[in-house]
Structure 1
C-alpha cells in the first residue's frame, strides 16, 4: 500500500459521513412531507383558536400533541442509522430484528433514563416556577415545538442536516423570552449546554481512539489472532454488559446496595463472556489461519448498538417530553412542576419508536450499505464511545446531538489509526505539502460544519420560537 493511501482512513470515513448525510436527506423525505402536513394542521388550529374564541388550553394541548408526535417520529427516523447502520452493515443483525431491537432499546432509554434531560428542557432553560398558573407557559412550549419543527422541516428541504436537540433548545429560549421576558431565560444553563456541545465530540473521539488502539495492538496485529481474541474480547464484552446492566439496575432501584448490585450485574456479564468466547471459537474453526475481525466483533458491536439505542432514547426523548409536559401541566394533566411523568416519557419513546419502525428501514439500508458504512472495528469503537458519551450527558440532564458526538468518534478513530500506522513505519511520516494541506482542509471543513450547525441553529430556532410565540399568544388572546 502506498504511503499516500495508508493515512487516508480518516478522510474516507469523513467522506462516508458526508455520503450518509446525503442518503439521510433522501430517506427522510416521507417524514419531511408529513412535517409539512403537521405545520398545516397546527396553522389551522391556531386560526380556529383566533376566530372561534375557543379555550386556548385545549387547543394548545391539541397542537402540542400533534407537533410533539411528529417530532418524535422525525427523531426516530432521522437518528436510527446512527445506532443500527453499523450493525446491519457488518452483518451482526438483520434489518427487521435490528429495527425492533433499537426501537425497544429507545423506549427503555426514554422511560428509565429520559427524565433528567426532559426536566432540564421543561424547566431549566426558562424559569417557569412562579408563572405556571397562567396560560403563557404551555403556549410558550407549543411555540417552541413549532419553531423547532419549522426549522427542521425547512433545513431538511434545503438539504442542511441539523440537530433536533439544538433546535428545541433554541426554540424554548426564544419562546420563553417573548412570553416571560429575557430575564426568565437561564443564560448560564444555555452557556453550559453550549460548552457540552463542544466537549462531547472531543470526549467521544478520545474514547473511540483509545479503544481502537487497544483493539489494534492487542488483537488485530497480534501474531496469534485467535489466542489474542480469546484473551481480550470476552472480558471486554463482559465488562460492557456488566457495567451497562449495573447502570440499568440503578435506574430501576436507586437505593440498591452495592453487594446485590454487583451480584445482579455479574450474571449478564458472565453471559457476555461466554457468548463472545463461543463466537471466537466458531470463527476460529471456520478460518483457523487468520479469522476476520468483523465476525469476531459481532457480539460486541451488537451490544454497543443496544447501548447506543438506549442512549438515544434517553437523551432525545426530552425534546418531545420536556415541552409537552409543560403543555399538559397547563390543563392539570401533569401534577408537579419540574417532574416529567413516566407516561409522558413513554409517549415520547413510543413516538420515537414509531418513527424508527415506520421510516427507518430505508435510511438504515442506505447508511448500512457498503458505500457509507464504517468497517466493523471502527464502527464498534465509534458506537461504544458515542453511547457512553451520550449516556453520561443524559445522566447530567444535558441535551446533545448524537450525530455530532458520533462524528467526534470518527475523528478520534481516524487520528488513532493514523498514529498507529506512523508508529509502525515512521518513514511514512513525510507527506507532500499539497497532500498535507488537502487533508487539513478536508478535516477542517467537517469541524466547521459541526460548529456552524449548532451556532446557526440556536439563533434561528430562537427567532422562529419567538415569532411562533407571538402568533400563538395572539391567537389565544393572552
Structure 2
C-alpha cells in the first residue's frame, strides 16, 4: 500500500476521532437540560440523544458540509497535511475544554484549525471571505438569538401556565430534546463530512468536483452517535446546573429556542455552534427570572473560552504546519 494512501486513511481516522470528541464534548448540548430536570437518567438521555443525532440523516440536506468543503478556503491550497494539522488542533482543544468542563464549540475549533493552517500555507487571501462571513455571522448571531428566543419562550410559557403541570412539560421536554439532538446531528456531523470530502479531493482519491460519498455521510452520523453515547459529563454539569437552575418548563423553553435557531441555520447552510446556541438559550431562560437568574460569572468564563477558540486553534494548527514543513526539509 502506497505511503500517500496510508496517510490519507490515517487522516480519515483522525477525522472520525474528531467526530467522536465532537459527539461526547457536545452531548451536553442535547442532554444537559433533560438530565438537570431529571426527566431522563444520564444513561437514558445519551441513548435518546444519540438516536436522534443519527436520525438527522433522514431530515437534512448536506448544505453545511458543502459550506465547509467549498466555502471556507481556496481548495487549491488544501493538502492532507493541512487537514491533519486542523484536526489535531481541534481534537486537542476539545479534550482541553472538556477536561475543564467548558462548553466551547467543536465547530469553531475545527474552523479555527483550518483557518490557521490555511493562512500559514497560503496567506490571508487563501481564505474564502464569502464563506467566512456566513460563519462569523453565525458565531455572533446564534448565541444572541438563543438568548432572545429562550427568554421570550420562558416568559411566555410561565405567563400562560401560571400553575403548569410538570408531567406535561416533562413530555414536552422529551420532544424538545429530541428535536435539539436532531438539529445537533444535522449541523455538527456535516462539518466532518465536508472535511473528509475535501481530504479525498486533495489526495486525488476523488474527482475535483466537490461531492460527499454516502459512506462518509453514514459513518459521520454513526461516529457522532457513539461519541454522544460516551457523554461529556463535565460539560453537562456546567450547562445543566451552573448557568441557571432548570425546571422541565425552562428546560423545554431552552431546548426549543436552541432548536429553532439551529434548524434555521442548517437550512441556510450556516455551520453555527450548537454549543453557543444552547448555552445562550439556557442563559435566556435564566433571564426570565430577572438579571440574577443567570450566573454571569460562569457565563464570563464561557464567553472567554468562546473568544479564544478560533485564534487558539488557528495558532496550534499553524504551529503544526511549521513542524511538518521543518520535518520535510
Please indicate, yes or no, whether the TM-score normalized by the shorter chain is above 0.5: yes
**1:303 Cα deviation from its structure 2 partner:** 0.8
Equivalent position to 1:459, from 305, 311, 316: 311
**1:78 Cα deviation from its structure 2 partner:** 1.7
Alpha carbons of 1:449 and 1:94: their partners in 2 closer, same or farther (altered >3 Å)? closer
Alpha carbons of 1:160 and 1:215: their partners in 2 closer, same or farther (altered >3 Å)? closer
Would you say the 8 A contact 1:390–1:402 is kept in 2? yes
Equivalent position to 2:264, from 380, 392, 407: 392
Q: Does 1:193 align with 2:135?
A: yes
In 2, distance between residues paired with 1:151 and 1:79? 13
**SS of match in other structure, 2:289:** helix
Task: Give a deviation string over 1:18-47, Cα, whole Å, max 9, x none.
Answer: xxxxxxxxxxxxxxxxxxxxxxxxxxxxxx
In 1, distance between residues paired with 2:144 and 2:301? 15
**SS of match in other structure, 1:351:** helix
CA RMSD of the aligned region, Å?
A: 3.1
Would you say the 8 A contact 2:53–2:182 is kept in 1? yes
How is 1:75-474 mapped onto 2 (pairs within 5 angstroms)? 75-110=22-57, 112-113=59-60, 115-128=62-75, 131=76, 136-157=78-99, 161-219=103-161, 221=162, 293-335=165-207, 337-357=209-229, 359-360=230-231, 374-418=246-290, 443=296, 445-446=297-298, 448-472=300-324
TM-score of the aligned structures, taking structure 2 as reference length? 0.86
Would you say the 8 A contact 1:317–1:348 is kept in 2? yes
In 1, distance between residues paired with 2:93 and 2:40? 34
Would you say the 8 A contact 2:98–2:232 is kept in 1? no
**1:302 Cα deviation from its structure 2 partner:** 0.7
Task: Give a deviation string over 1:279-330, Cα, whole Å, max 9, x none.
Answer: xxxxxxxxxxxxx632121221111111110111111113322212112234
Alpha carbons of 1:397 and 1:60: their partners in 2 closer, same or farther (altered >3 Å)? farther
Would you say the 8 A contact 1:321–1:345 is kept in 2? yes
Alpha carbons of 1:111 and 1:467: their partners in 2 closer, same or farther (altered >3 Å)? farther
Equivalent position to 1:72, from 19, 37, 44: 19
Alpha carbons of 1:414 and 1:369: their partners in 2 closer, same or farther (altered >3 Å)? closer
**1:474 Cα deviation from its structure 2 partner:** 5.6
**SS of match in other structure, 1:307:** helix
**SS of match in other structure, 2:118:** helix
**1:461 Cα deviation from its structure 2 partner:** 1.1
Alpha carbons of 1:442 and 1:377: their partners in 2 closer, same or farther (altered >3 Å)? closer
TM-score of the aligned structures, taking structure 1 as reference length? 0.61
Would you say the 8 A contact 1:60–1:142 is kept in 2? no
Would you say the 8 A contact 1:367–1:373 is kept in 2? no
Task: Give a deviation string over 1:402-437, Cα, whole Å, max 9, x none.
Answer: 22212211232233333xxxxxxxxxxxxxxxxx9x
In 1, distance between residues paired with 2:238 and 2:307? 26
**1:390 Cα deviation from its structure 2 partner:** 1.3
**1:473 Cα deviation from its structure 2 partner:** 5.1
| Structure 2: stretches of 5+ with no match in the other structure | none
Alpha carbons of 1:369 and 1:148: their partners in 2 closer, same or farther (altered >3 Å)? closer
**1:476 Cα deviation from its structure 2 partner:** 6.3
Alpha carbons of 1:72 and 1:111: their partners in 2 closer, same or farther (altered >3 Å)? farther
Structure index of larger Rg: 1
Would you say the 8 A contact 1:111–1:314 is kept in 2? no
**SS of match in other structure, 1:338:** coil
| Structure 1: stretches of 5+ with no match in the other structure | 1-53, 226-291, 419-435
How is 1:5-24 mapped onto 2 (pairs within 5 angstroms)? none
Alpha carbons of 1:338 and 1:473: their partners in 2 closer, same or farther (altered >3 Å)? farther
**1:389 Cα deviation from its structure 2 partner:** 0.8
In 2, distance between residues paired with 1:453 and 1:117? 24
